[in-house]
Chains A and B, each alone.
Chain A
Amino acid sequence: MEVRIDGLRFLRRGDCVLDVPKLVFASGRTTALVGPNGAGKSTLLRLIVALERLDAGTIRIGGEQVRPDRRTRGHVAFAFQRAVFVGGSVWHNLDLALRLRGVPGDERRKRAAGAAAACGVDHLLDRPAHQLSGGEAQRVNLARALSLRAPVTLLDEPLSGLDAPARRQLLHDLPGILRAFATTTIIVTHDRDEALRLAGDLVVLIGGRVHAAGARADVFGNPPDAECAAFLGYTLIPDGGGVLAVAPRALRIGPGEVTFNLTVEELLDFGMRREVWGRIAGVPATVSLPMGENDNAGRLTVSAPERAVRRYCG
């Protein structure tokens, strides 16, 4: 089901925290809703499931206006950022979610088992939910949402609070899990790499306003403004009256199509590779330094290919 937003405004204590004139989450696609902390991402998810009341505009799911009732909520599965559970086993929690959706007994067992297996938590079904580790809890949280088989699935920071190995594993598994359930999925994250890994479409939300929306390659490859580019990890370098935005990991040592001078501040040695941390025109920048290259220079010439550099007027 498509999620369509028109003329949305949401105020908090009189301040407009979300202003979205038009936005569509395409049916069957996975969209990453990205933006810095406080951009309004989680609020937008809460509005889609009618946990907050709009001040203006409409949200439609499959053409039906969102309302705080069972019908709207029946269309949406929501995995909250913090995995919270009621007392009892993992099985009880999955079963309760399905019972609240009015799913009959046999079907509940089938769906809970299927979602648990898909999310790799089928061995935890008898475990008390409150005793799960962070990674296990996030997977059960995901399984609970996916077991509902709602046409729209909302995942709020599904990888938050995980240690690095658990995060890497879930980041690897999640696209496959989402493909298997094939719903319209909106994933909120403030992590650019997570967004690029998990979603085919990107929406960049900054200060409650949509700065960019579209296919991942289009948005990431061609951010419409400097603020959006900065959030996507571009290095913004002052250039006359405007700025040059250099794509993440595009800088290389040595001259090239677009050349800069890097003032070296620190060399980090990771054993297999090294990184130079420094500044270009006063702006922090990082560039990989091949092993064996001269690392004593106070200044380095670095460059990026033309296609990795965007120009924005001041």
Chain B
Amino acid sequence: MDALWEGFQEAVRLIVRGDAGLREVAWRTIVVSGSATLLAMAAGVPTGYGLARGRFPGRTLVLSAVNTGMGMPPVVVGLIVWLFLVRSGPLGDLELIYTKRAMVVAQFLIAVPLVIGFTAAAVQALPAELPDLLAALGAGRLRTLWLLAREAQLGILAAVMAGFGGVISEVGASMTVGGNIQGDTRVLTTAIVTETSRGENANAMALGIVLLVMAFAVNLLLTAVQQRRRR
């Protein structure tokens, strides 16, 4: 309990002091996980919609793969990305390994099945007649897509929250493909691991609290949007 209390005090001290190291790691965490989430949204929402509404051979197989991906251990994703991006790997020439971009790629791969899966479920929960109703009323394809997305917004925002929550809290993939390089690829989760291994429990706890507050703030914002629209 002491470590928890000390960690809390240290977190307050770091935040109040505006600690430059903390600011830098926190900002990097937001940039990396935020970019990965935005990319996962851009790819995952339309894909989830297509999977929910489309009928094509192999659809069940794809949905099963997505559902499996939703529970994929981040460290395994990190390992696969590492194997591709490492200098001797098939994409080694891109020289992405141990960079923030490699971390974004890995986190994107973690988030995208979550966004696809939640979006598909949200769209499938809409009444099957709704797209036909909108078409019969004269809505074009894009207008229909927009109106359906509005109807499924509760689920789609849940998808985004799940995606962001999945990547901001993961450590295995970021560590494997980012390398936890101080001042370059260290993010809050990998910093916590480092501080813990050094026996700096209060620092680790402080970083953990900052991570929790950040995750809570982002989810609070998304939840507020979600619930406001619900009304």
- Are A84 and B130 closer than 8 Å at their CB atoms? yes
State the main secondary structure of chain B at its contact with A.
Answer: helix
**Interface residue tally for chain B (C-beta within 8 Å):** 17
* A149 CB contacts on chain B under 8 angstroms: none
Report if B147 contacts A (CB, 8 A).
yes
- Are B129 and A73 closer than 8 Å at their CB atoms? no
Report if A277 contacts B (CB, 8 A).
no
Q: How large is the interface on A (under 10, 10 to 19, 20 to 34, 35 or more residues)?
A: 20 to 34
User: A68 CA to B132 CA in the complex, in Å?
Assistant: 11
Produce 1/0 per residue, B121-152, CB < 8 A to A: 00000010110111111111001000100110
Given contacts A82-B127, A86-B151, A100-B143, contact A51 B138 (CB under 8 A): no
User: A148 CA to B137 CA in the complex, in Å?
Assistant: 9
- Are A73 and B136 closer than 8 Å at their CB atoms? yes
User: A176 CA to B32 CA in the complex, in Å?
Assistant: 64
User: A145 CA to B96 CA in the complex, in Å?
Assistant: 57
Report if A13 contacts B (CB, 8 A).
no
Q: For window 73-98 of chain A, which residues contact chain B by CB distance below 8 Å? A: 73-74, 76, 78, 80, 82, 84, 86-87, 96-97
Give the residue of A51, A82, A87 whose beta carbon is less than 8 angstroms from that of B136: A51
Report if A70 contacts B (CB, 8 A).
yes
User: A78 CA to B127 CA in the complex, in Å?
Assistant: 16
Give the residue of B129, B140, B151 whose beta carbon is less than 8 angstroms from that of A87: B151
- Are B133 and A84 closer than 8 Å at their CB atoms? yes
* B129 CB contacts on chain A under 8 angstroms: 80, 82, 84
User: A74 CA to B230 CA in the complex, in Å?
Assistant: 31
Report the minimal beta-carbon distance from A200 to chain B, rounded to whole angstroms. 25
- Are A86 and B147 closer than 8 Å at their CB atoms? yes
Produce 1/0 per residue, B189-231, CB < 8 A to A: 0000000000000000000000000000000000000000010
- Are B130 and A86 closer than 8 Å at their CB atoms? yes
- Are A100 and B151 closer than 8 Å at their CB atoms? no
User: A86 CA to B138 CA in the complex, in Å?
Assistant: 15
Report the minimal beta-carbon distance from A111 to chain B, rounded to whole angstroms. 14
- A-B contacts, 18 of them at CB < 8 A, read A46-B132, A51-B135, A68-B135, A73-B135, A73-B136, A78-B136, A80-B132, A80-B133, A80-B136, A82-B127, A82-B129, A84-B130, A86-B130, A86-B147, A87-B151, A96-B147, A101-B138, A102-B138
Give me the 4 closest cross-chain CB pairs, A-B, nearest first: A84-B127, A100-B137, A78-B136, A73-B138
Chain A residues within CB distance 8 Å of chain B: 46, 49, 51, 68, 70, 73-74, 76, 78, 80, 82, 84, 86-87, 96-97, 100-102, 148
